[in-house]
Structure 1
């Protein structure tokens, strides 16, 4: 059995959303393949410390802003690696490569280089996932009001919508979801529907979102491009990862009007629950736009919200 090697990798991101990839040099494993910069975690180092050191050695930059993200494992012919991915959004110095054949700034939705190193490939899809999910509640505020608020949110930049309308009659739900899809597509936004895979197939939405209760009995990932789940504990998060889902929601981070009986997690507990997970996790529960930085420092991919989406001033 191969010993597991701990590796730190950096998603170095510019304000326009582009990220840096390096091409592996001749004489290394997988020469010519592209990867996120980083390297092996040495004895006595944390993964974060290792990445800061590696980026200094490989690229000549001094990291000033770094946030944990996801952790993935991969078995190569020569090694079993566990990659700790961090988002790097700030650094001092000019990028000057010392180890790769080439560097390239890329966008997840239109990568121009390849092939990707196998362990790094799934990260490209995760980077396509928007950072904010708006969750509908038309049953509470009315369909017209919800669609009007959706229009405003899409104009502000919302690019991921979960249609969640428990109790809404199926015909009404189909009509409402169709209206959401039409609006979202004008902006290139993704739409997932909560629970109803049949309706999701009928309407051609981008994916489905599974309630936590379904994770216990679902045996295979539903056949959609995007599939996520609501989770409340580590076991549910691990089950979502085992099924190969694209993301999870975890909460409530703060007390909410939707579930006032549920004890709030807080950011420390959230960070501990998502530690070393291979899929992105959205923070949920009483959060607003101003919480995004705190969420991402706690290793959240982003934020999912009902009122925090539709009732911004």
Structure 2
């Protein structure tokens, strides 16, 4: 079962309906073109037959989301999950029910076909697609759009600090990180010793480098600068987020958040992702008490958009981030 309610959303009703809880799986493997995810096709005789979806199903009485995930993949794919981490939570309105879908990233399993692939039991076909690429099959249930978009976001989000390191040193650091696979960067420089022209030149240099390897760049708070240098989007500071009445007209919009209210504001504004922190003690905010991964997990448990942990983190913190419902880590120094 998948999040196919976008094509069948019904009008609001006077009284709230019971919520059906569903666990959905994003199966990930290493393929010839890098990391790939799996979609499965609904068979004849079922609603939306022939449409592609993420496998999963309804949480039964007494089950946790994670337990349901394991059971459903045994039934639908004949595999036993051995490594899965919680991810985003989406809600949709079906004509007959209100549905909450908890998505998990599944990275290891046992069983499957003799050739090592997965052959569906309850679907009539499966297909693998590289992360960040358009789905290799069609039609994909329209409500899966936000899920596919979110899957295209890398796990590491680098934040520049040329004001502290110097422009030449920061560009050299960026070149090394891009060679190592970095693909998502925020140009944060503001009030850090870079005047208007210097900031624009630096942002343009970052965009040129990142775009050359197929990555994306956001500019902190400055929509005009983002457009001028050809950036992919804008990253709103928490103060800009609180002041925003409408979503900036950019392809990619993110926001910095520190608490539940700001995270709700980012979701309501239509941001594609958010960063939340500080998770750990950080030199940039020495007087701020860190959230810790436990509190972080509580705040993002129901988030429908990917959320990165921020504050005193690096790529070495990715395992803890994944376990806490985070999409990944954002870092000012640790990239």
**TM-score, structure 2 normalization:** 0.90
Indicate conservation of the 8 Å contact 2:24/2:103, yes or no: yes
How far the C-alpha of 1:217 sits from its partner, in A, is 2.4
**How far apart are residue 121 of structure 1 and its match?**
2.2
Segments of structure 2 that go 5 or more residues without pairing to the other structure are 1-12, 113-117
Are 2:119 and 2:126, in contact at CA under 8 Å, matched by a contact in 1?
A: no
By how many angstroms is 1:205 displaced? 0.4
Aligned to 1:73: 91
Residue equivalent to 1:6:
21
- The two structures, once aligned, show a CA RMSD in angstroms of 1.2
Match of 1:128 among 145, 152, 162: 152
Aligned to 2:111: 93
2:290 to 259, 264, 270: 264
The 8 Å contact of residues 249 and 283 in structure 1, kept in 2 or not, is answered as yes
2:128–2:136 CA contact under 8 A, matched in 1? no
* Counterpart position of 1:83: 101
1:140-179: per-residue Cα shift (whole Å, max 9, x none)?
1111111111111111111001000121322111111001
Matches of residues 1-313 of structure 1 in structure 2 within 5 Å? 1=13, 2-15=17-30, 16-94=34-112, 95-107=118-130, 108-167=132-191, 168-309=194-335
Aligned length: 309
Aligned 8 A contact 1:73 1:119 in 2: no
Structure 1 residue ranges without an equivalent (≥5): none
Measure the CA separation in 1 of the matches of 2:168 and 2:316.
Answer: 27
- The normalised TM-score by structure 1 is 0.96
**CA offsets, 1:40-70, max 9 Å, x none?**
1111111111111000011110000010000
- Aligned equivalents of 1:211 and 1:61: distance in 2? 43
Does structure 2 conserve the Cα–Cα contact (< 8 Å) formed by 1:247 and 1:279? yes
Indicate if the aligned counterparts of 2:279 and 2:293 stay in contact, CA closer than 8 A: yes
Structure 2 Cα separation of the partners of residues 57 and 206 of structure 1: 41
CA contact (8 A) 1:72 1:119 kept: no
